[in-house]
């Protein structure tokens, strides 16, 4: 049995006496998980913004202002 499992088996019966089943809150662990998720999303958005700034994007030419085609030589027979 690991140290974590041993600690949990010792502490869980103690929480049963003070645990109110009608009032359940996320507590500190819920806040830490939410803060970690928010920090991860912020880091991903910052990284995406940096990568999108590096994209070299050239738009297609406007068809209404297309350059005239070069004349093609007629085949001689």
Phi, psi of 53 (to 5 degrees): -70, -25
Average confidence (pLDDT) over 72-77: 65
Average confidence (pLDDT) over 56-74: 71
State how far the Cα of 28 lies from the Cα of 12, in Å rounded to an integer: 17
Q: pLDDT averaged over the chain?
A: 79
Per-residue pLDDT of 1-30, as tens digits, reads 677 777 767 766 655 666 667 787 888 999
Per-residue pLDDT of 48-63, as tens digits, reads 999 998 888 788 877 7
Runs of H (alpha helix) within 1-77: 3-18, 27-54
State how far the Cα of 26 lies from the Cα of 29, in Å rounded to an integer: 7
| Residue 66 confidence (pLDDT) | 58
Between the CA of residue 40 and those of 5, 35, 46, 65, what are the distances in Å? 29, 9, 10, 46
């Amino acid at each position: 049995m690991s140290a974590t499992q041993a600690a949990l088996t010792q502490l869980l019966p103690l929480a049963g006496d003070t645990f109110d089943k009608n009032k359940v809150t996320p507590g500190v662990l819920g806040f830490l998980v939410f803060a970690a998720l928010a920090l991860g999303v912020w880091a991903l958005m910052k990284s995406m913004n940096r990568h999108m700034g590096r994209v070299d994007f050239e738009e297609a030419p406007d068809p209404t202002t297309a350059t005239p085609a070069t004349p093609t030589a007629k085949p001689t027979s």
